[in-house]
Amino acid sequence: MSAETTAAPATSAAATTAPATTAAGAGAATPAAAEDFLALCPAETAPDSLTIAIWGSHEEAIGEEMAGFTELTGVDIEWHVDGTPDRLVKLNAERGAPTIDLAVLPVNEISTLLDNGVIDPKDDRVPNSDLLVDVAAGVPGGWGTSQIQFAIAYNPDQVTEAPDAWLDLLDPAYAGHVSLSNVPGSGGYAPLAMFARESGGSDADLVPAIEMVGDVVDDIVAFTDQAQATIQMFDTGELWLAPAIAGTMLQYQQDGGNIELAIPATGGPIGMNVGVIPAGNPDADCALALLGWYLGPEVQAKYAETLHYTPVNTAVEIPADLVVFPADQSTAVAIDWAAIQERSDEYADLWARTVGG
């Protein structure tokens, strides 16, 4: 199963400069009022409960803040925890008769779901949606709920100079001490896209990048879907470099892990989680209200504090001593996820033959 991964949305073209992802503007915007939520989800028509499908541990991270929605509307929140592939399978299998009211997914998966009619088109009635940063508001089929950034984690004892290019991951000097994330999954696609860009290519064709990995496949110590496996290898000293979600590795660093984080000169790809409403949901309006609560400042601030996600809500003030990624917007790089997703079957097949054959 792929690790929790997110990605920047494709807007009109692959962006090579930092998108507008500023998420600090205390006092400049007013969060949605209670009436806005109750207008969508009045007591007389509200269901007993709504179900959010999301990754594990998110319930513990934001459960208290989400409980405020229950206090306001009387609607209980049920949490359905699973991995991205399981969530995609369930949404597709239940197409038209969903048991999930709100699903949170990596942005690269959204276009396919929208094209296949699995999710509803975007609805502007979502409370707090007017406060979102452009990149979060611009996702077809959903609303960005959090931002992350990919970086290169490295062991400073073994890698004495911080990597300044993503292609350093394929440097023979580090043979046997590098891991990569698996494909499909935006954790795997992000470094491939950067390999392509740094080689003169683009996000539209990752085949050369996969072939570059194939040239050094025996030098890669592991291809992993799970953050904890990467952390384990850093901990045993086996791993010197790996691409990873910066916030996740920051937690490991704060827990005493001997790693540093580097964002190469070409930038760090931006990922994003997106909230979507499955098509055919009889409680769609209440689900929109729930999504609006999820985009609210309390939940967004809690994500920043616990998982180091950059809030998408401009009403959230990030404490000065709190590190979130992207911390420096000039390092943020938007990836053309729609272009990658169009050829995901081809890439997944080529990757399997390159790595697992």
Partner 1 sequence: MSVTTVQPAADAHASAPARRRLHPRWPLMTPALLVTAIGIIGPFVILVGYSVKLLGDDVSGSRFGFYSEVLGDSFYRGIFWRSIKLSVWLVGATLLFAYPLAVIITRARGWRRTLLLYATITPLLTNIVVRTLGWLVLLSDQGILNSWLGWIDPSLERRFLGTEFGLLLSLVHIALPLMVLPMLTTIESLDPTHREAAMICGAHPVVAWWRVTLPALAPGLIAGCTLVFVLGMSSLITPAMLGRGRMYMVSTLLVRQIGTLNWGRAAAIALLLFAVVLLVVGAMQRLGSSSAAGGRAARSTVPLGRRPIGTLLAYLNRLGPSTRLVRIVRPVFVTGIVAYLLLPLAVVLKSSFDPSTTLRAGWNGFTLDWYREALDPDRYLPSALLSLRLAVLAVLIGLAIAIPASIGIARGDFPGRRAIIAFLMSPLLLPHAALAVGFVLFFLFLGTDPSFQRVLFAHLVVCLPYMVRVLVSALESVDPSLEEAARAAGASPATTLRKVTLPMIKPGIFAAVLFGFLTSFDEATVGVLVAASGTPTLPVKIFSDLQVQYTPVAAAVSGLLIVLVLAVILPLERWVGLMAPRNES
Name the site residues for partner 1 (rule: CB under 8 A).
1-4, 49, 51, 55-58, 60, 63, 78-86, 88-90, 92-94, 97, 99-100, 112, 116, 182, 184, 217, 220-229, 231-233, 235-238, 248, 251-252, 255-257, 344-345, 348, 352-353, 355-357
Report in angstroms how near the CB of residue 115 gets to partner 1 at its nearest: 11
Nearest CB to partner 1, comparing residues 133 and 213: 213
Asked if residue 55 lies in contact with residue 4, where contact means CB atoms within 8 angstroms, the answer is yes
Q: Where are the alpha helices (DSSP H) in 170-245?
A: 186-198, 207-215, 227-235
Nearest CB to partner 1, comparing residues 128 and 341: 341
Nearest CB to partner 1, comparing residues 19 and 283: 283
- As a whole number of angstroms, the distance between CA 205 and CA 196 comes to 8
Report in angstroms how near the CB of residue 224 gets to partner 1 at its nearest: 5
- As a whole number of angstroms, the distance between CA 309 and CA 186 comes to 16
Asked if residue 350 lies in contact with residue 343, where contact means CB atoms within 8 angstroms, the answer is no
Nearest alpha-carbon partner for 40 in 280, 288, 278: 288
Nearest CB to partner 1, comparing residues 51 and 331: 51
- As a whole number of angstroms, the distance between CA 107 and CA 338 comes to 9
- As a whole number of angstroms, the distance between CA 131 and CA 223 comes to 38
Nearest CB to partner 1, comparing residues 128 and 179: 179
Nearest CB to partner 1, comparing residues 87 and 197: 87
Nearest CB to partner 1, comparing residues 315 and 350: 350
Report in angstroms how near the CB of residue 66 gets to partner 1 at its nearest: 13
Report in angstroms how near the CB of residue 186 gets to partner 1 at its nearest: 13
Report in angstroms how near the CB of residue 4 gets to partner 1 at its nearest: 5
Cα dihedral angle (243, 348, 2, 19), rounded to 10 degrees?
A: 50
Tokens of 144: 């960005």
- As a whole number of angstroms, the distance between CA 79 and CA 90 comes to 14
- As a whole number of angstroms, the distance between CA 183 and CA 44 comes to 46
Nearest CB to partner 1, comparing residues 41 and 77: 77
Report in angstroms how near the CB of residue 157 gets to partner 1 at its nearest: 13
Report in angstroms how near the CB of residue 295 gets to partner 1 at its nearest: 21
> b or e along 12-30 (b: 16 or more beta carbons within 10 Å of the residue's beta carbon)?
eebbeebbebebeeeeeee
- As a whole number of angstroms, the distance between CA 249 and CA 118 comes to 33
Report in angstroms how near the CB of residue 71 gets to partner 1 at its nearest: 17
Nearest CB to partner 1, comparing residues 131 and 150: 150
- As a whole number of angstroms, the distance between CA 166 and CA 151 comes to 9
Report in angstroms how near the CB of residue 65 gets to partner 1 at its nearest: 15
Asked if residue 77 lies in contact with residue 66, where contact means CB atoms within 8 angstroms, the answer is yes
Nearest CB to partner 1, comparing residues 42 and 176: 176
Report in angstroms how near the CB of residue 244 gets to partner 1 at its nearest: 11
Q: Where are the alpha helices (DSSP H) in 255-343?
A: 284-294, 297-307, 337-342
Give the number of other Cβ atoms within 10 Å of residue 124's Cβ: 9
- As a whole number of angstroms, the distance between CA 141 and CA 104 comes to 12
